[in-house]
Structure 1
Amino acid sequence: MNVLRSFLLTAAFLGSTALAGSYTVRGGDTLYRIAQAHGMSTQQLMELNGLQNTNIEVGQALTVSGTPKASGPVAASGGVSVRTAASRYLGLRYRLGATGGGAVDCSSYTQLVFRNLGISIPRTAAGQWRTGSPVSSRNLREGDLVFFNTTGRGVSHVGIYVGGGQMANANSYYGRSMIEPLFSNPYWASRYMGARRVLR
């Protein structure tokens, strides 16, 4: 009987929460985790709440069901939240083939950032090179993936353009994920292969 009563109370609580369609941010929450818990992408959650970036505060009430607010494009579309998401993972140690646990390589870093935005992209630089649509270097916008040939054998490095002539990437030379100049850096400028747009 106690088990049944507990189940009914829990169901009633969850039901009232679903009916209310809101969630109060707790310590340690991220938009990505909240979105996943409510069966939506980070982008959808941002649209629903008219958010322009991924910053949230403890005690903030978020709508987790219903129709998105008509507040224009979300930050992921305009690129504002891309820098925020990219910055969240700066300083991670570089290790070829790493996919987490405090270490990343170039393509697992970009994959991690995009996952935080609620977008799935392939694991490797070569796979990411085949996703999205090509974009000219003159028309780059925040969130575009930028690709390089560092080995003489096609695409071998990827970063994320974050605006202002800069890119976020996991740099093997410096041994960490970082934001650095793109075309004003002769090393990257001479090895640039192109860019792909994944965010609409």
Structure 2
Amino acid sequence: MKKIPLLFCCTVLFIAMTCSAVQANPQAYRVQPGDTLWGISQQHGVSVNAIKSLNGLQSDLILVGQVLALQDPGYTTSVNKEQTQTVQESAPDPSRSGGVIYTVKRGDSLWVIAQQYGVTVDQLRQWNNLTGDLLLVGQQLSVFQNRPALTTEPSRSGDRGRYDIVSEAQRHLGTPYRWGGTSPGGFDCSGFTTYVYRQFNVGLPRTAGGQASYGTPVSRNALVPGDLVFFTCGSNSINHVGIYCGNNQFIHSSSPSSGGVIMSSLNERYYSTRYAGARRVLH
């Protein structure tokens, strides 16, 4: 057998070490099903408080698909600087099309900026030649709309209230299933939703069937975080309920064998074939 040249071995080893270093400390991370801030912090060697500060998070709530910055947004590598410069040079001048230049602030996201100006995230990406969701503090974005930015904070019963509901629900992931349970010691499905909403002074009917008649009906393609989603599991009538979290994910107290309070997908065959509608409690 021929001996592999020493230079080749060293080159392979260097490449492997470089790749490992990049993977161990990326600038951004896309949230996967089952992720928590604590888990991400342990995986990447960044404290939970640092992740919250970098991303302007007020709670531990994270959603599948969300992109989290893991390094100080003020720090960029030469590659990032080159990419940012390329974007700024190739993006069209909004002043010529009745648009504005928006400077990214700490805590901003594409979704937040899109809501402020009445545009879509895809439009922001297209206008600024973005391929991902990572934004840097001080980065300038072109926005081609004349609608002024919103100056008021969302109300408690609006977006912020809905995400607070989801955040509270996720605090109880892993809580065991208990028939008739309505406390953190153990929940059944409607006991779980009742408890979560009670923390925000909202009283829900005790059963899944009762909750299915509470609030306002909402179609599946119009679901927002905090909506109640209902199912017919082994019955012709509604007998299961969960809380929608976004990205087709919902949280619920499933069963003793499934692990109690868990996250599931509306696209899973079991739930998609038993889906029975949704209700909006917060408006």
Q: TM-score range by the shorter chain?
A: 0.5 to 0.7
Amino acid aligned to 1:72: E
The aligned counterpart of 1:128 is 211
Aligned-partner Cα distance in 2 for 1:163–1:75: 18
Task: Tell me, in whole angstroms, the C-alpha distance in 1 between the residues paired with 2:186 and 2:197.
Answer: 16
How much has 1:72 moved relative to structure 2? 2.4
- The count of residues paired between Structure 1 and Structure 2 equals 134
Does residue 163 of structure 1 match 2:246? Answer: yes
Q: Please give the per-residue CA displacement for 1:49-97, whole angstroms capped at 9, x wherever unaligned.
A: xxx9567xxxxxxxxxxxxxx8422355212212211111211110111
Once the two structures are TM-superposed, the CA of residue 128 in structure 1 deviates from its matched residue by 0.4
Give the TM-score taking structure 2 as reference length: 0.44
- CA distance in structure 2 between the aligned counterparts of 1:140 and 1:150, rounded to whole angstroms: 21
Q: Report what 2:195 is aligned to.
A: 112
Checking the alignment, whether the CA contact within 8 Å between 1:53 and 1:81 is kept in structure 2 is no
Greater gyration radius: 2
In structure 2, which of residues 252, 257, 263 is the aligned counterpart of residue 179 of structure 1? 263
1:103 aligns with 2:210: no
CA contact (8 A) 2:172 2:184 kept: no
Residue identity matched to 1:85: E
Give the drift of 1:113: 1.0
Write out the 4+ residue segments of structure 1 that deviate beyond 2 Å after TM superposition.
52-55
5+ residue gaps, structure 2: 1-56, 61-150
CA contact (8 A) 2:182 2:194 kept: no
SS in 2 for 1:158: strand
Deviations, residues 4-27 of structure 1 (Å, cap 9, x unaligned)? xxxxxxxxxxxxxxxxxxxxxxxx
Q: 1:83 aligns with which of 163, 166, 173?
A: 166
Structure 1 regions of 5+ residues with no counterpart?
1-51, 56-69
Q: Which residue type is aligned with residue 174 of structure 1?
A: S
1:198 Cα deviation from its structure 2 partner: 0.4
Q: Distance in 2 between matches of 1:85 and 1:196?
A: 19
SS in 1 for 2:198: helix
* Greater RCO structure (CA 8 Å; 6+ sep): 1
The answer (yes or no) to whether the contact 1:145–1:195 under 8 Å persists in 2 is yes
Corresponding residue SS for 1:119: coil
Give the number of the structure whose residues are more often strand, by fraction: 1
Displacement of 1:101 in angstroms is 5.3
TM-score normalised by the chain length of structure 1: 0.62
**1:74 matched to which residue of 2?**
155
